[in-house]
Chain A
Amino acid sequence: MGLLILNGLANGLIVGGIYALVGVSLTLLYGVLRVVNFAHGEFVIAGSFLAFALFSGLGVPPLLALPVAAIAFFAAGWALYYVLIPRLALSDDPELMSFLMFYGVSIAAAALMLLLFGADSRSIDDTFSPVSVPLGPIYVSTARLVALGITAVLSLALAWFLFRTLPGKALRAAIMNREAIQIMGVDIVRLSAFAFALATALAGVTGVLIALVFPAFNPFSGAEYTIIAFIVVVLGGLGNPMGALLAGVIYGLAEQMATVFLPQAMAQIVGFAILIGTIFFRPSGILGTRSRR
């Protein structure tokens, strides 16, 4: 039992790192643009499929796929922003309509991946040597440890970017007050396009990492990650990047510990319970002090 718990903790940290990245990109998007990206999970899985295509087509290992995904998804996000968002802003209630629009995007993205890659579950069997590393009494797969390292580096880099650079500070300022930052002379359209591109790039990179950590993915895995992203974002407080990073790790640990103590299917309910509980009892999230409802 002790070993199981240790294993759960290790896996919880690794999976939690992934969830933190999934959540932080979604929360950036919501915070800056006030749109709810229902297709976020599909963006993430598209990253996994990009890694899969690069590996099986050109033999590119997943670690090299990371920068490719970052650049490709940044560009795609930038373009998608200008196709979707300016027109959306004209509707009566952009925030609620965005939910519906990205619902459509998620269906279309899943269908596109289905057409390109088929319905089968895919995995990347690129193994590190050694396959697993002893960590005290337990063994952890090397791929997962590498992924954990990358998530940690990415999170720190993101935190540095948000708190120490001018564009990062502008992003946080836009989350706090979209109107005031325009008075300060920031081009909100370009900043929003940048936020969308950054969030999409993060989603793509996370997708590559998912290909390392989880055994398999298929075109319809996206919905799962969308729900996880929502849980993390709500738990961390809508539009709160640091909250989302913390909430991701907490949720990863909770989920993995739940699989240790509860039957498989019940463990899935834990996530939903966290989501509903947070919204009812602490709508501003774990780090939030003021209600954003």
Chain B
Amino acid sequence: MALSSRTLEPADRIYFMLAALIGGVLLVYFALVPFLGGNIAFHFYLMLWITMASAFNVAAGFAGYLPFGYVAFYGVGAFTTAILVKKAAVPIFLALPLAGVAGLVLALLFAPTLRLSGIYFGIVNLALAGVCRLTITNLPDWLTGGSFGLQLGSRAEPVHSFYVMMAVMVAALATILWLARSRLGKALRATRDDPDAADMMGVNVPRIRLYGWLISAAFPAICGGVEAWYTNVVDTETAFNTLTTAKTVIYAVAGGLGTVTGPVVGAVAMVWLDELIWRRFPLLNLLILGVATVALVLFLPRGIVGTLLRRKPQWRRYVP
């Protein structure tokens, strides 16, 4: 049934009002950061992690896949942007969408793995990320800059990349907000919960999974590109750092997979905590991140928003 042909139910109205409210607050807050002299670097990365965690949520929360090599999309996006800007003199505003396209192409190459499930998918995805890193490491140095990496050499204004990152975040959140209430989103969840039953109901399971996978792949690739533009340098060590996957997964799970607000809440809470720990105990940062992950799985496996919704199931209809 098309959305326009029915009147909004009260529950839907509250849902969209809440979404608009949360989205509006986020938007105004981030838009004002450069004007009020806020910490641009901190907020840039906060938006980056919100985007990464939200896009990861499409694969993990909606489609039920745990891609443990998620950094592959990020790294390939970063290198696509850097090579296009540096070697082909493509303007950055064209290079970034092309990075997204590179992410989509990579996702299509990985598509055969979607018939795997559970840990098999996770392990294969991890291996594929390793293959991507090794492939780029083995490309000729004149193209990728070898172990020194590529300097983009663009005199990037941090504020420009900041607002571009914001646009990417807004696009990602809007996509997922739409997805959560769309036929595609419902079909994805049905496929996750019971592929056979979904198939019986007329859902084209492989195609639905592919759509979810593509959405989940495009945003990290663009994130990689924007970050490359922001820091002005790309190398294989940082672009394919396993910690990128780790943080994405941890932030998304901390908030709660399967909800729109979950990864946002998780990213905000954890990035803030990370920053706090980083400033107080720089040496212990990694250790605390690890212990926090373990504690999260053991004591809050559904995440902040997920736990809240379990306590108050009646809120499920209203909370995005």
**Which residue numbers of A lie inside 8 Å of B, CB to CB?**
36, 84, 87-88, 90-92, 95-97, 99-101, 103-112, 114-115, 223, 227, 230-231, 234, 263, 265-266, 268-269, 272-273, 275-276, 279-280, 283, 293
Contacts and interface: CB of A to CB of B under 8 A. Distances in A.
A279 B134 contact: no
A112 B287 contact: yes
B125 to A, nearest CB: 10
A97 B123 contact: no
Given A105-B290, A227-B127, A275-B123, A266 B138 contact: yes
B297 A111 contact: no
B113 to A, nearest CB: 8
Contacts of A91: 297, 301
Given A107-B246, A107-B293, A276-B124, A96 B298 contact: no
B51 to A, nearest CB: 21
Contacts of B124: 275-276, 279
A223 B285 CA distance: 19
A279 B120 contact: yes
Given A36-B119, A104-B297, A275-B127, A265 B138 contact: yes
A12 to B, nearest CB: 21
**Which are the 8 A-B pairs with shortest beta-carbon distances?**
A104-B293, A108-B290, A107-B290, A111-B286, A111-B287, A101-B297, A104-B294, A91-B301
Contacts of B249: 100, 103
B137 A265 contact: yes
Interface residues of B, number: 44
B126 interface: yes
Nearest to A265: B138
17 contacts: A84-B298, A87-B299, A88-B297, A96-B119, A101-B293, A103-B249, A107-B243, A107-B287, A107-B290, A108-B289, A111-B287, A227-B126, A230-B126, A268-B130, A269-B131, A269-B134, A279-B123
Contacts, number: 122
B116 A272 contact: no
B122 interface: yes
A279 to B, nearest CB: 5
Contacts of A114: 286
Nearest to A106: B290
B173 interface: no
Contact of B246 (A87, A101, A103, A234): A103
A283 B120 contact: yes
A102 B287 CA distance: 13
B283 interface: yes
Given A104-B291, A114-B286, A88 B298 contact: yes
A108 B116 contact: no
Interface in B94-131: 112, 116-120, 122-124, 126-128, 130-131
B82 interface: no
Interface in B258-296: 283-287, 289-296
Contacts of A112: 287
Contacts of A97: 297, 301
Contacts of A283: 120
